[in-house]
Amino acid sequence: MSEPFVDARTEPDRYRHWTVTNDGPVATVTLAVDPDGGLRAGDYELKTNSYDLSVDIELRDLLERLRFEHPEVRAVVVTGGLDKIFCAGANIQMLATSSHAHKVNFCKLTNETRNSIEDATANSGQVWIAAVNGTAAGGGYELALACDEILLVDDRSSAVSLPEVPLLAVLPGTGGLTRVVDKRHVRRDRADAFATRTEGIRGRQAVEWGLVDAVAPASAFDDLVAERAAARVESADRGAGAEDGPGVALTPIERVETADGLRWSTVSVAIDRQLRAATITVEAPADPQPSTPDELVAAGAEAWVLAAARDLDDAILHLRFNEPEVGTWLLATSGDPAAVLAAESVIVPPPDGPEHWLAREVRLLWARVLKRLDVSARSLFALIEPGSCFAGLLVELALAADRSYMLEGTWEDPDRDTELPAPTLELSSLNLDGLPMGNGLSRLASRFWGRPADLAVAAAEVGRALDGPEAEEVGLVTAAMDDIDWEDEIRVMIEERASFSPDALTGMEANHRFVGPETLETKIFARLTAWQNWIFQRPNAVGPEGALQRFGTGSRPDFDRRRV
């Protein structure tokens, strides 16, 4: 079955599955899935608050809007809008009828959205609380696990469960197994019993095992939720200025098709289908940009530092879902490096004193967008050419790349624009610790993992514009080349990459990108995603007699019993 075109852009007046109500510092997010509102309308029904990608696209959007448009909100309560059902998890019919690639991309975006909930709690002063007012199964319980606190109604029927292994022969796809033991510290033997118990666990036992934080009877449940939300409001830090006025409206992201790709206000994508490569170019601001938090608030979504992050995020998601055969992404920039450094200055954390709420939100958004780039299953090459602006936060594109190439000097070829300035690469303080990867390290520290002397040498170059040979000497680029070699070398590199197995490349790249310590995020994206990717291709799950195909038919799956 061919997959539909996926547009990750949406707005509240287009939501079909979620509603958001605000009561001062507390927002309530309610899931009541429209059964006919799935991504492939007519192919399956989203019954019992089950979800597909359309539900996650809306959740991703409302998460961002709460953070940017509602600085007054300090606690977010997520709950179910159907009787006795919080969320039944991913829709089984959708999974059974989707392509392998769509299943994997669906799980990846859902993982990223769950991580954004945790990021909002940990870093934005918007603490998420799950008010599980009915059964939470599979991905529904995983949604609750992403919250900082889980409250369960004790009505003798509502339970939490992860039934994927016994029912579907797959794994909980959005971090459930990892969060149960690593985040909630459930004992391994109890976690094993829980993940193989289809009916789940209810009431006081769920509290005793650490699967939820508190329970209350239906008559007292609303009071418990209100009490816990009020307590979290008191301790939440939204950042300086959050109480002073309204937030920033996230205006619609404009995307236009061009002859060879797509264009946003600050980003362009050009696709070479013969080479199966896309050039993603982020453009520096051409106009003066906000230099103070108040100016940033006034500029809102029009500020380059916010617009560029949103545009780049949409470009990444578009290419992920709609251009699966474009396996190489060439990361480029254009414009004045000084303009980038001036624009980013407003989101650099102050050395002392509180950080402004909006400046912090923009910086955290950049961190999330760059993490999305890190975990995209594409080869990433940075091309640092004349006229580019790899400075400050845009250096992160080069540091995220699997390889980076920099031209020495300017173009000598008369067929190119020989008036463009020679490229430089300039680190800023944001590259040191402002935009961490999923492993908790900066991309600079990841680049020099286990080589502290080299890291110190590179860090000492903050604020200095390096030419090609200097950047190569410091270790910030793979190679610096002159104009004579450039075109042939780059084309050979791209052609060679396109000749390799995409599966082998995905595994190789993911292994190289995430060095150093393992974290909850790296476990979810490395361990869980790798195993789920494999299991989603096994006959025991997706074969004609596998669990996903037999589910709901009354016929048991026929497993190949050999352990691999």
Catalytic residue among 164, 283, 361, 472: 164
Both tokens assigned to 203: 């009431």
Of 144, 113, 174, the residue nearest 528 (C-alpha): 174
Both tokens assigned to 519: 């974290």
Q: Which residues pair with 132 in a beta bridge?
A: 152
User: Is 164 a catalytic site residue?
Assistant: yes
Main-chain dihedrals φ then ψ at residue 171, nearest 5 degrees: -105, 155
Contact at 8 Å (CB) between 318 and 8?
A: yes
Instruction: Return all residues near 210 (Cβ < 8 A) that are at least 6 apart.
Output: 184, 185, 186, 187, 190
Name the one residue in this structure whose structure tokens are 């580019």: 388
For 510, the 3-state DSSP assignment is: helix
Dist. CA 491–CA 474, nearest whole Å: 25
Catalytic residue among 58, 64, 142, 426: 142
Dist. CA 519–CA 83, nearest whole Å: 37
Q: Which residues pair with 131 in a beta bridge?
A: 79, 151
User: Is 142 a catalytic site residue?
Assistant: yes
3-state SS string for 28-57: EEEECCCCCCCCCECCECCCCCEECHHHHH
Q: What share of the chain is helix, strand, coil (3-state, %, to 5)?
A: 45, 15, 40
Residue spans of alpha helices (H) in 253-336: 293-299, 304-322
How many residues would you count in the chain?
Answer: 564
To 5 degrees, how large is the angle CA 354–CA 122–CA 149? 135
Containing 367, the helix (H) or strand (E) segment is helix 357-374
Q: Which amino acid is at 69?
A: E
Of 204, 202, 89, 212, the residue nearest 150 (C-alpha): 212
Give first-to-last CA distance, the chain, whole Å: 29
For 78, the 3-state DSSP assignment is: strand
Q: Which residues are catalytic?
A: 142, 164
